[in-house]
Amino acid sequence: MKALVLGAGIVGVTTAYELNRRGYAVTVIDREAEAASFTSYCNAGLFAPGHAYAWSSPAAPGILLRSLWRGDQALRFKPNADPRFWRWMWKFWGECTAERAALNTIRKLRLCNFSLSVFHETLARTKIAYDGRKGGLLYLYRSAAALDAAMAKSRILTDNGCRIERLDGAAIARRDPALAPVGSLFAGALYAPDDESGDCRMFAIGLRQFLEGQGVVFKFGTAITGLSTEAGRVSAVATSAGSETADVIVLCLGVYSPHLVRELGHDLPIYPVKGYAMTAPVTDAAAAPALGGVDEETLVAYAPFGKRLRVTSTAEFSGYDRSHGPGDFRTMLKTMRTLFPMAADWDRAEHCAGLRPMTPAGTPILGPSRLSNLWFNTGQGHMGWTMSHGAARLTAQLITGEAPAIPLDGMTAAT
């Protein structure tokens, strides 16, 4: 059986892995020159079930509206005339009740936890190097009120199988000695001991190499331009290098997934939420973080990747624009210079921006489409590195008719 995976981001590459393991002859198509060269290029690298909260919550509409005049760095909301944007926002608003937020958080957490176990299996089999770091992540709070609120909020995670510990300033320094000089800045932290970090792009490239060794074909520099249909199935995938056919086709195009299937009657509720990232060489290993984490005051995330330090920030609604300028990195730089002032050479940092493929609920879209041989695995949003391994396993299970390992409630497309 022949499978075509459309997109070689982390979601596409992990999907190719799961299908290859089940005996499919897999071809992966992407217009970039290498795996994980678009959004999967520069994420924070946090493998974070301990941060699986749904973004849509009762507080979210107010936060979005306030960002219109506050000139916030962490959240930027630039309304535009795109009807898809307003349809997405309308659905997002619908997910902002306390009940929906709780349900979506539990569904996300279940997928994240499953994904972590699949990830460990894949690592054991492939031995891919990815500058990973086990030992937990730190979610840092500068005020006691914010820490108390976060602790109360985390009940939904701990009630559903996620371990979270409350740390005071001294305990933070014991977990990560690089934070000892600034321990007094924080009222405390929530520590998720089972969370991890690692370079998503490095892993994706390692997996691409492993898969090529297993006979998987990667066609890079190839744009997918359309789908032809016949008798209720996709008869051909049109690309810049000719057309392709397959028994099974999986859509993993991130923020571009909706574009390809719109004419087939699918209105996938995925919209880009932009974020910015910096990666700098570590200059003093002892001053660099031992664990990844998030400064919850500035909403800056960071992770040590071997001899590099990755920092990310911002959720910005500004369409498909991926441009960036020095002002976009100001809060990140200030936070890093406060937390880890001697750790890295920020003058030599690489800068980039990425587009999170967000759904209103924050859960991905998996499973069958209206066409019998077309399947979805897309919309992993702000947690695509964390969710990709589990989402790929579930997708392969659905395609082969196996029972999915976890419930898929709220994660399938309307057909």
Ligand X SMILES: Cc1cc2nc3c(=O)[nH]c(=O)nc-3n(C[C@H](O)[C@H](O)[C@H](O)COP(=O)(O)OP(=O)(O)OC[C@H]3O[C@@H](n4cnc5c(N)ncnc54)[C@H](O)[C@@H]3O)c2cc1C
Residue 12 vs 188, nearer CB to ligand X: 12
Whole-angstrom distance, CA of residue 129 vs CA of residue 285: 19
Q: Minimal distance in Å, beta carbon 168 to ligand X?
A: 25
Residue 188 vs 384, nearer CB to ligand X: 384
Whole-angstrom distance, CA of residue 66 vs CA of residue 64: 6
* DSSP reduced 3-state for 257: helix
Is 223 among the residues that bind ligand X (CB under 6 A)? yes
Phi, psi (degrees; rounded to nearest 5) at 169? -55, -45
According to CB under 6 A, which residues from 57 to 86 bind ligand X? none
Q: Are 18 and 40 in contact (CB under 8 A)?
A: no
Whole-angstrom distance, CA of residue 352 vs CA of residue 42: 7
Whole-angstrom distance, CA of residue 68 vs CA of residue 405: 42
Is 354 among the residues that bind ligand X (CB under 6 A)? yes
Residue 174 vs 330, nearer CB to ligand X: 330
Is 384 among the residues that bind ligand X (CB under 6 A)? yes
Is 203 among the residues that bind ligand X (CB under 6 A)? no
Instruction: Give me the DSSP letters along 355-399.
Output: EEEE-SSS--EEEE-SSTTEEEEE--GGGHHHHHHHHHHHHHHHH
Is 179 among the residues that bind ligand X (CB under 6 A)? no
**Only segment of 72-80, 337-345, 349-357, 396-404 that touches ligand X (CB under 6 A):** 349-357
Q: Are 55 and 356 in contact (CB under 8 A)?
A: no
157-193 CB burial, b ≥16 within 10 A, e <16: beebebebeebebeebbebbebbeebbeebbbbbbbe
**Only segment of 62-70, 133-141, 333-341, 384-392 that touches ligand X (CB under 6 A):** 384-392
According to CB under 6 A, which residues from 284 to 343 bind ligand X? 301, 312
Among 277, 278, 399, 411, binds ligand X (CB under 6 A): 277
Residue 148 vs 297, nearer CB to ligand X: 297
Annotate each residue in 7-46 with x if it binds ligand X (CB under 6 A) or - if it does not, as one string: xxxxxx-----------------xxx---xxxxx--xxxx
User: Tokens standing for 294?
Assistant: 């998030």
According to CB under 6 A, which residues from 387 to 406 bind ligand X? none
Q: Minimal distance in Å, beta carbon 51 to ligand X?
A: 8
341-372 CB burial, b ≥16 within 10 A, e <16: eebbebeebebebbbbbbbbbbbbbbbebebe
Among 101, 164, 227, 253, binds ligand X (CB under 6 A): 253
Binding positions for ligand X, rule: CB under 6 A: 7-12, 30-32, 36-40, 43-46, 48, 223-224, 252-254, 256, 275, 277, 301, 312, 354, 356-357, 378, 380-386
